[in-house]
Amino acid sequence: MDKLLMGVAAGALLAGGGMYFFGGSQTEMIDQPETIAAGEPTVEEAGAFLARVEAESEEFSEFAARTFWVNANFITYDTDWLVTRVSTEATILAVEAAGQTARFNDLDLPLDMERKMTALRAGITLPAPTTDGAAAELAGITTRLATAYSTGTYAFDDEPADLQVLSDLIDFGRDPAVLQDVWNGWRTVSPVMADDYARMVEIANEGAQELGYDDLAEMWLSNYDMPADEMEAEVERLWGQVAPLYEQLQCHVRAGLNAEYGDDVQALDAPIRADLVGNMWAQQWSNIYDLVAPEGAGSGIDLTAILIDRGFTEHDMVRTGEAFFSSLGMEPLPETFWERSLIVQPVDHSAACHASAWNLNNIDDIRIKMCTDVNAEDFNTVHHELGHNYYQRAYAGQDFTFRTGAHDGFHEAIGDFIALSITPEYLQQIGLIDDVPDASSDIGLLMQQSLDKIAFLPFGMLMDQWRWGVFRGDITPENYNEAWWELRTRYQGVEAPNDRPADAFDPGAKYHIPNNTPYLRYFLSYVMQFQFHQAACEMADWQGPLHRCSIYGNEEVGARLQAMLEMGASQPWPDALEAFTGTREMDGSAIIAYFQPLMTYLEEENADRQCGW
């Protein structure tokens, strides 16, 4: 299973600042005479327009959210039909409201109103054009894509295996022939998506152009309080800060794989084979820690074994995550969270197991949907998903449009920033270990973390780089797959284990592509979580190495964090960033500071190796 599991998934479409939903039917909206006033527009008219849109959005969003929730928990023909119907209406109404903002383009609006107008225009993930039938066609396509992914299987050992089973084989297998078979097998679910995906891009680009954008790439990049081209350059700047650490890690991991499998499987002068790193998408590599561990580091703290030995249940995992936020002075989760969340995988019906966090009424009906396993990976994931929920609840008092993260990277960073405090010191504080390992274990612990955090960085960036190219027409359907692997090799130094079939559509084998979840947020969040962590540890007057700092129990840090969370998107994101960190610029230097001992170790280990690819 893809245990990055970071998205608010379908729930992300239902929050302020994302997809907008409006009450009433399409006809009722179109027939309202106050929608477009005669004469020159005024600031007062713009304010009334925004107030109406927000009220209607909030009303309809709860109905839409509950429809998506039921579908995610019970995937059937009928719930797919309901989602398609709701998505169609939502897209029509969202595009209509976005189009109406054009009337106010030349007005000198107050900053908060201008930002709401921008959110209406740029906040639709997939806009449909106003052409008759376009929204319905788009909704049908997106539903088919999501269902193809969620219900995909591959016959392994003559038995149909779903993604959960196949991922377990990839995560922990060591037979390269089996790994290659399973890796290829999961990618047999995605070729059927390719034509639908290409048509979806055509429709959504037409919709983006109607809203005044060159294409969907410009539209997606316009959600960051700066021009789209400046945001794209910002991404490259941040990657430049962290790339040297990634390159050292890639070189070390490739050498470890070569030592395990030999030149015939993993050559020292070739990119890393994507099926060998213990993850279905080669986005995180922690499952092969034993192959690349520093000499004498041992296996580190086996948190999975500890949790199982202590008899932890899936609900205990979530209760422990809640207790961390409570230690910062935050209110406990509401009782409805425990009554309504999906925490354990159903055994009698299909559900979307990709972990996600939801707020179904945009106030306090917060939940998670997660097929939880009792292991270290899901222990971290629980803290991540709860970060979404506490953020959702904190900004519930803002205007509807601003009930979202300062930008989408903020939402993803909060829970992971908290999870950086899952240190040995924290595990001792909550009674899961008796003794904290001394500093001699730090390189091993940092190596384990880097295989998740640093290994992910280029993947987090290139996912949307591929989509930007698709949206702009630079990547055409006939070279979707070729361009995908060109980017993966260029930035990750990773390649497919074999030549790909002519009809391969490997991007579709990753959840966020068929489900149309923008991915840049994850790259940004990985930068920002370390920036948040460094700032929080400075607030806490932590004197030791940054990687040993835990803010568990620090209510002063909790109060400062809560203040930023409550802002939601009501101010430009540099204001929110400054409120917690004291700086207005995203900065990758905290990652380098956190992993500096590992960087020194890797440079020494790689001194006689030929790095690069």
Catalytic, out of 20, 522, 526, 594: 522
Catalytic, out of 122, 282, 354, 376: 354
Query: Is 512 among the catalytic positions?
Result: yes
Catalytic, out of 384, 407, 411, 533: 384
- CA-wise closest residue to 591 among 245, 229, 208: 245
- CA-wise closest residue to 450 among 328, 599, 339: 599
Amino acid found at 98: A
Catalytic, out of 98, 161, 355, 536: 355
Residue 476 CA, chain-centre distance (Å), reads 25
146 Rama class: left (phi>0) / alpha (psi -120 to 50) / beta? alpha
Specify burial of residue 380 (Cβ count, 10 A radius: 0-12, 13-18, 19+): buried
- Give the phi and the psi of residue 502 in degrees, each rounded to 5: -60, -30
Catalytic, out of 252, 512, 533, 547: 512
Buried b or exposed e, range 222-253, using 16+ CB within 10 angstroms: bbbbbebeebbebbeebbebbbebbbbbbbbb
Catalytic, out of 252, 388, 407, 411: 388
Query: Is 411 among the catalytic positions?
Result: no
Catalytic, out of 412, 535, 547, 590: 412
Q: Where are the alpha helices (DSSP H) in 151-212?
A: 163-172, 176-186, 194-210
Helix (H) or strand (E) holding 494: strand 494-495
- Give the phi and the psi of residue 249 in degrees, each rounded to 5: -65, -45
Catalytic, out of 56, 89, 96, 385: 385
* β-sheet bridge partners, residue 367: 358
Query: Is 354 among the catalytic positions?
Result: yes
* CA pair distance 162, 304, nearest whole angstrom: 23
Query: Is 355 among the catalytic positions?
Result: yes
DSSP string over 295-329: TT-TT---HHHHHHHTT--HHHHHHHHHHHHHHTT
Task: Kindly list the catalytic residues.
Answer: 354-355, 384-385, 388, 412, 512, 522
